């Protein structure tokens, strides 16, 4: 690479980094170790190389995510098919056809480029799609319990209007996804209908099937389990279609894949890249000619489980990170769910913010200007390879289990194990949820929304904490603050936030100089929580406990280690505590 020198008319090499700015791995480790030692996350005697273990986190699948990538060997990543901006797809699901139509038209006027439309036996699809330019805006149906009726309605409406459906439209059949969600569907009958739907879709020049991996994700599946499910389901559909006479390439072109995008940015990017790699391997092993290019078409939707009901405005940030990851990961279409979708049917403001997220990323931030911007990044390539290997193993396990029929019990049991591990981490606040397990606002008033049946299918992260917040504690805890505000504020803030995560308010003593002043500010609260420095605990914490018990306290908690005071306490709260168990116990004592 060269750059012109306008003063001399010559060209000189353009260096990517000056020689003095090039550093070794050992230098990076030494600099990072110095920071971690200052933060007391690394001991003085620990080797500098220990920073890798301190900064590496492990996913629920046991895959390590390193702080930076280390150059490795060649990768086999499959680049995205998409060139330029992704398809901005909105979800239209309102049960009232007139309101659903209004939402669809407003979204399209606001820059949405395709519609994902929910359909059930009561849906008037003609009314929902009134005024929609079907040849310009792709329509993807979500008709898990009645795919044939939905397909018939869509094709008949297009024929009535005398237009050809956009080629990226999809009839949305996914019987295995409906089976996993335990929806009322005659699966054998639906599978038998796939052939007819495929023929109708090919005739109309559109797609017929959506492999909806969010069926697994919404139940709590990990990234690897989601990948394994999607590939196994896709292979099952390929078999059914080719067994009924369709060519392999034609069958593959009828399928679109839907994945969840979460606020875990790098795993989402790598998951989408790994999915393309896995599907390409399937088609290669199935005998697809090398010169036939059938790319996996991906639709990414922001995760429903990651959205919190409390402090729902934080969902705007979660959705933005997820959409960014989906775009960088190469998704062909991206749906950002409205921030208030976790509360029920979203309203106009939430829908506007949702579609504008993609506009911000595409038009203002130029995220779509580069194809596969994460390609070649060692950390992402390594994570992609790890996810692909684990996803292939998960796919093979499902293949073995499905040899004699689609028994989903073992898969559901594996998902349940993942859910239990995630809930354990959330309970200990190792997987923080802002506004719910961290920094909750007990005074917030949630926006009122109409019920949304789609939320009933979701195992939302932190649901146990939401259940506590749904029924606030009957009485507050007395926060017995020892010393000045400067002295007690750290532990008082920790205790206040922890208790608020369980729907428990606090009455704060304020600055105190001794036992008498502390007891004077005490009311008749059953539960007391001490908050102060280690020095204050050692100096007069024990006397404070005894005096508070004498004044009527029935359950005494200490913010810190239980042996920090010279008196018996009933419970303690420190970093790493099982917050859910602690809060449940505290609420029992309050009642």
| CATH 3.40.50.280 domain extents, the chain | 471-590
Token digits for 395? 């796919």
When pLDDT is cut at 50, 70 and 90, the band that residue 378 belongs to is confident
Token digits for 226? 């989601």
What is the CATH topology of the domain spanning 87-401?
A: TIM Barrel (3.20.20)
pTM attached to this predicted model: 0.92
CA-nearest of 75, 24, 86 to 374 is 75
Q: What is the mean pLDDT of residues 49-54?
A: 91
Q: Residue for token digits 């995205």?
A: 80
Q: For residue 4, is pLDDT > 50?
A: no
Q: At what angle do helices 187-204 and 147-161 cross, to 10 degrees?
A: 20
Q: For residue 17, is pLDDT > 70?
A: no
Q: For residue 10, is pLDDT > 50?
A: no
3-state DSSP assignment of residue 506:
strand
Lowest average pLDDT, out of 285-289, 337-341, 395-399, 410-414, goes to: 285-289
| CATH 3.20.20.240 domain extents, the chain | 87-401
Between strands 57-58 and 64-65, the pairing is antiparallel
Q: For residue 516, is pLDDT > 50?
A: yes
Summarize pLDDT for 412-424 with one digit per residue, the tens: 999 999 999 999 9
Rounded distance between C-alpha atoms, residue 132 and residue 115, angstroms: 10
Cβ atoms of 537 and 581 closer than 8 Å: no
CATH homologous superfamily of 471-590 = Cobalamin-binding domain (3.40.50.280)
When pLDDT is cut at 50, 70 and 90, the band that residue 408 belongs to is very high
């Amino acid at each position: 690479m060269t750059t012109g020198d306008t003063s001399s008319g010559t060209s000189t090499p353009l260096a990517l980094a000056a020689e003095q700015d090039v550093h070794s791995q050992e230098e990076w480790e030494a600099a990072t170790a110095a920071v971690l030692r200052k933060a007391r996350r690394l001991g003085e005697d620990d080797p500098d190389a220990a920073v890798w273990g301190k900064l590496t986190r492990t996913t629920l699948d046991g895959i390590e995510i390193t702080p930076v990538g280390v150059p490795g060997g060649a990768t086999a990543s499959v680049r995205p098919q998409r060139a330029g901006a992704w398809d901005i797809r909105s979800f239209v699901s309102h049960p009232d056809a007139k309101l659903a139509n209004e939402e669809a038209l407003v979204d399209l006027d606001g820059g949405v480029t395709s519609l994902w439309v929910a359909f059930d036996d009561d849906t008037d699809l003609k009314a929902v799609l009134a005024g929609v330019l079907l040849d310009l805006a792709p329509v993807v149906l979500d008709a898990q319990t009645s795919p044939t009726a939905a397909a018939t309605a869509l094709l008949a409406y297009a024929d009535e209007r005398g237009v050809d459906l956009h080629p990226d439209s999809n009839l949305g059949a996914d019987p295995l996804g409906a089976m996993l969600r335990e929806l009322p569907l005659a699966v054998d009958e639906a599978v038998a209908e796939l052939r007819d739907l495929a023929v109708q879709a090919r005739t109309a020049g559109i797609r017929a099937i959506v492999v909806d991996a969010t069926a697994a994700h919404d139940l709590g599946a990990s990234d690897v389990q989601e990948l394994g499910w999607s590939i196994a389901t896709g292979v099952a559909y390929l078999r059914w279609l080719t067994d009924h006479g369709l060519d392999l390439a034609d069958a593959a072109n009828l399928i679109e894949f839907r994945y969840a995008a979460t606020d875990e940015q790098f795993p989402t990017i790598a998951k989408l890249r790994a999915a393309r790699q896995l599907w390409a391997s399937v088609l290669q092993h199935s005998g697809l000619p090398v010169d036939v290019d059938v790319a996996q078409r991906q639709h990414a939707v922001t995760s429903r489980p990651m959205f919190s009901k409390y402090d729902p405005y934080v969902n705007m940030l979660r959705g933005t990170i997820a959409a960014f990851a989906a775009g960088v990961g190469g998704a062909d279409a991206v749906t950002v769910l409205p921030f208030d979708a976790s509360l029920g049917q979203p309203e106009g403001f939430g829908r506007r913010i949702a579609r504008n997220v993609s506009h911000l990323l595409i038009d203002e931030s130029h995220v779509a200007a580069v194809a596969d911007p994460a390609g070649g990044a060692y950390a992402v390539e390594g994570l992609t390879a790890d996810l692909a290997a684990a996803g292939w193993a998960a796919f093979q396990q499902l293949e073995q289990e499905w040899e004699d029929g689609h028994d989903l019990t073992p898969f559901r049991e594996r998902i349940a194990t993942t859910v239990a591990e995630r809930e354990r981490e959330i309970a200990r606040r190792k997987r923080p949820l802002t506004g719910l397990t961290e920094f909750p606002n007990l005074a917030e008033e949630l926006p009122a929304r109409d019920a949304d049946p789609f939320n009933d299918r979701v195992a939302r992260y932190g649901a146990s904490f939401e259940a506590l917040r749904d029924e606030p504690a009957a009485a507050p805890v007395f926060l017995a603050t020892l010393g000045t505000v400067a002295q007690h504020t750290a532990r008082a803030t920790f205790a206040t936030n922890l208790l608020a995560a369980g729907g428990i308010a606090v009455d704060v003593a304020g600055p105190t100089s001794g036992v008498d002043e502390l007891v004077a500010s005490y009311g008749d609260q059953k539960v007391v929580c001490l908050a102060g420095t280690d020095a204050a605990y050692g100096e007069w914490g024990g006397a404070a406990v005894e005096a508070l018990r004498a004044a009527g306290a029935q359950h005494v908690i200490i913010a810190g280690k239980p042996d920090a005071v010279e008196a018996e306490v009933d419970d303690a709260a420190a970093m790493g505590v099982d917050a859910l168990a602690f809060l449940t116990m505290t609420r029992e004592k309050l009642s």
